[in-house]
Amino acid sequence: MNLVAYPDREMLMVALADTIASQLRETLAREGRAVLSVPGGTTPGPVFDILSGVALDWENVSVLLNDERWVPEDSQRSNTRLVRERLLRDRAAAARLVPLYAPAPRPEDRLDELAAGVAAVLPITVLLLGMGADMHTASLFPGADRLAEALAPDAPVLMALRAEAAGEPRITLTAPALRSAMHCHILITGDEKRAALDRAAQLSEAEAPVRIVLNTATIHWAP
């Protein structure tokens, strides 16, 4: 496991934003476009704040969420809202957001059109993942109704999943879409998640979905 431990969260966020920006910059120089895929939740806000002010050819960057909670965009639980408020502002306002939500009662109602939008920009250049203490990543929750399908090598890029721990229905990139990323980073803080990560290394992908990227990701941790 490739784990980088930082003395504190501020140092982590600054260093991680710098690494992400360099990796995007390098791909932009070579290919003229790049794709950044990011988590929602409570941890990544400070990385977004820093990244949004970085000088980068944002016009040619597509920003994608790894997963979304099926709630309207004005909900406090909306990952799209988080990304719009914390990442897609200042210099990064020029980036293009690839939607993972469209108003409808159920994710299945809009899945095909959202999946087409995602498929059009893959593969991901830089993937930033969060992780829950239950070892879920994106919305690949242990015990989710369609987890086995989402972990399969032939899974479609995007799926709707439901899990008790998730609250609302979710829409999520699947294992093959996440694994397609050129660079992968996992951002975790606190002792509970660090212990969960150590445990994940001993478990199966179904028990600990974060395992799908554990051998390839750089893990960034601070207390």
Ligand X SMILES: O=C(O)[C@H](O)[C@@H](O)[C@H](O)[C@H](O)COP(=O)(O)O
Structure-derived torsion over alpha carbons of residues 32, 37, 42, 48, reported in degrees to the nearest 10 = 0
| Residue 44 Cβ vs ligand X, minimum distance, rounded to whole Å | 7
Closest to ligand X by CB, 31 vs 143, is: 143
The residue (of 24 and 100) whose beta carbon lies closer to ligand X is: 100
Report whether 150 contacts 172 (CB < 8 A). Answer: yes
Shorter beta-carbon distance to ligand X: residue 34 or 128: 128
Instruction: Using the minimum distance from each CB to ligand X, give the nearer residue, 28 or 100.
Output: 100
Three-class DSSP category at 166: helix
The CB-of-71 to ligand X minimum distance in angstroms stands at: 10
> Vertex 220, ends 51 and 9: CA angle to 5°?
70
* Beta carbon nearer to ligand X, 58 or 101: 101
Smallest distance, Å, CB 95 to ligand X?
Answer: 18
- Provide the minimum distance between the beta carbon of 31 and ligand X in the complex, in angstroms, as a whole number: 26
Cβ–Cβ < 8 Å for 52, 90? yes
Q: How far is the CB of 59 from ligand X (least distance, A)?
A: 26
Q: Which residues bind ligand X (CB under 6 A)?
A: 39-43, 66-67, 69, 79, 130-132, 136-138
User: Which residue in the shown chain puts its C-beta closest to ligand X?
Assistant: 130
- Between CA 97 and CA 59 the distance in angstroms is 11
Strands (E), the chain: 2-5, 34-38, 61-65, 67-69, 96-98, 126-129, 158-161, 170-173, 183-189, 218-222
Provide the 3-class DSSP secondary structure of residue 115: helix
CA atoms within a 13 Å half-sphere pointing along the CA-CB vector of 148: 1
